[in-house]
């Protein structure tokens, strides 16, 4: 089954035993006054898609609170300190990844600064416990909780949360600020990445279509035969097709070469570090006529440059997770009884049909950047 989503709106004293945890940090921004208020964002962990959907909230916070020290903490790792570091470095003063929230609070409480915590986590028990703990210390708390019912300031009114996660995170910042704030999820790449993308594309004037099929989830990856068949169908229709080799399991350049020799692959063999590879992906997304791949991080990344896309969904709630591009075709992977759907079971014909429908609709959502000569 295929669905089309269009016209997504745009807008708008520390104990010695915990010292090693505090030292796990990255400090990027200019020094703020020692008395500056502290705004702490906290998350469970950030895969690529999670980090991308949090950037609009961080931008809004930097706009609303330019004099505050913005701290970003998480229980696990965060893509904001990896592939997305360049985009987050101007928005966050201190990163405290893989650090418990009480440790972060102890660090900044020792500096006698007023604090606000914006909690992106969703576990009810954790949020309620955190609310009670912070209330005892006079810390303002804004939680990602149904109806915002754990808000800590009495004048806040009850409202429903937006459906999409990016809007939910952004709304939390608006509630702290007490006003509406611009929403912007778009990213810019570098001129060096654009130049590399043009060199890789060469003089080929065929429409460029990007494919993605690797994943760390066992039911979210695409098969070698599936990618080869999709590529063959699109190449036969007059397109240039590039497969993006990303971390995780899935098709490899070697296996794909034996199945479809006309398919070009781009991946680790370029020798780029993680940030440079991310910039290259953005540059390719700016050039591409379409991206075809699974629901996940790559789709969210290409949405930041408004690449038209076909997303194969294995059962994710797309009201919360759909990519923020205005031209998205959705193909739903079939379920087998009560078992979770596997992306690799999705018929190639359904994917090609959705892709041709997207291409026939024509046009990008924004102009392609003009090359610098």
Domain boundary among 150, 177, 204: 177
Say yes or no: 160 and 308 in one domain: no
Say yes or no: 19 and 50 in one domain: yes
Say yes or no: 218 and 149 in one domain: no
Say yes or no: 122 and 251 in one domain: no
Q: Judging by beta carbons within 10 Å of its beta carbon (0-12, 13-18, 19+), is residue 225 exposed, middle or buried?
A: middle
Say yes or no: 140 and 222 in one domain: no
Is the pLDDT at 53 greater than 60? The verdict is yes
Q: 215, 228, 185, 226: which is closest to 298 by C-alpha? A: 215
In a domain, 372, yes or no: no
Say yes or no: 169 and 242 in one domain: no
Say yes or no: 338 and 223 in one domain: yes
Tokens at residue 320, please? Answer: 């919360």
Residues in the chain: 373
Say yes or no: 153 and 202 in one domain: no
In a domain, 62, yes or no: yes
- Per residue in 92-137, pLDDT (tens digit) is 999 999 999 999 999 998 777 789 999 999 988 999 999 999 988 8
User: How many domains, in total, are found in the chain?
Assistant: 2
- Per residue in 333-373, pLDDT (tens digit) is 998 777 788 999 999 999 999 999 999 987 665 555 544 43
Say yes or no: 251 and 317 in one domain: yes
Q: 99, 52, 100: which is closest to 79 by C-alpha? A: 52
In a domain, 369, yes or no: no
Could you tell me which residue, 361 or 239, shows the higher pLDDT? Answer: 239
In a domain, 308, yes or no: yes
Are the C-beta atoms of residues 314 and 339 closer than 8 Å to each other? no
In a domain, 241, yes or no: yes
The residue range of the domain holding 209 is 191-361
Say yes or no: 323 and 229 in one domain: yes
Domain boundary among 133, 153, 177: 177
Could you tell me which residue, 326 or 165, shows the higher pLDDT? Answer: 165
In the prediction, which pLDDT does 135 show? 87
Whichever domain contains 200, its CATH number is 3.40.50.2000
In the prediction, which pLDDT does 145 show? 87
Whichever domain contains 120, its CATH number is 3.40.50
In a domain, 368, yes or no: no
In a domain, 183, yes or no: no
In a domain, 132, yes or no: yes
Say yes or no: 172 and 195 in one domain: no
Is the pLDDT at 26 greater than 80? The verdict is no
Say yes or no: 203 and 348 in one domain: yes
């Amino acid at each position: 089954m295929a669905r089309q989503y269009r016209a997504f709106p745009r807008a708008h004293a520390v104990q010695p035993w915990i010292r090693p945890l505090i030292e796990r940090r990255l400090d990027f921004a200019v020094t703020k006054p020692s008395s500056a208020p502290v705004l702490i964002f906290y998350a469970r962990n950030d895969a690529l898609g999670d980090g991308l959907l949090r950037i609009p909230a961080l931008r809004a916070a930097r706009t609303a609170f330019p004099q505050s020290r913005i701290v970003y903490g998480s229980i696990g790792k965060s893509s904001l300190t990896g592939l997305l570091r360049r985009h987050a470095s101007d928005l966050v003063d201190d990163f405290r990844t893989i650090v418990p929230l009480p440790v972060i609070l102890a660090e900044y409480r020792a500096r006698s600064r007023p604090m606000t915590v914006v909690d992106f986590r969703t576990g009810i028990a954790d949020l309620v416990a955190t609310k009670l703990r912070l209330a005892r210390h006079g810390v303002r708390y804004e939680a990602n909780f149904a109806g915002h019912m754990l808000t800590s300031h009495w004048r806040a009114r009850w409202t429903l949360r937006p459906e999409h996660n990016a809007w939910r995170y952004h709304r939390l910042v608006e509630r702290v600020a007490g006003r509406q704030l611009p929403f912007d999820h778009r990213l810019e790449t570098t001129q060096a990445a654009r130049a590399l993308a043009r060199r890789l594309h060469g003089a080929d004037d065929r429409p460029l279509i990007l494919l993605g099929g690797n994943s760390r989830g066992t039911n979210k990856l695409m098969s070698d035969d599936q990618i080869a068949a999709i590529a063959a169908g699109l190449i036969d229709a007059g397109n240039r097709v590039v497969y993006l080799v990303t971390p995780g399991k899935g098709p490899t350049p070697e296996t794909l070469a034996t199945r479809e020799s006309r398919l070009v692959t781009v991946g680790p063999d370029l020798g780029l570090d993680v940030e440079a590879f991310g910039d290259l992906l953005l540059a390719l997304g700016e050039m591409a006529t379409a991206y075809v791949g699974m629901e996940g991080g790559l789709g969210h990344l290409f949405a930041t440059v408004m690449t038209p896309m076909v997303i194969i969904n294995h059962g994710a709630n797309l009201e919360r997770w759909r990519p923020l591009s205005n031209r998205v075709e959705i193909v739903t992977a079939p379920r087998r009884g009560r078992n979770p759907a596997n992306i690799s079971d999705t018929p190639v014909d359904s994917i090609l049909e959705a892709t041709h429908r997207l291409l026939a609709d024509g046009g990008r959502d924004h102009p392609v950047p003009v090359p610098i000569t």
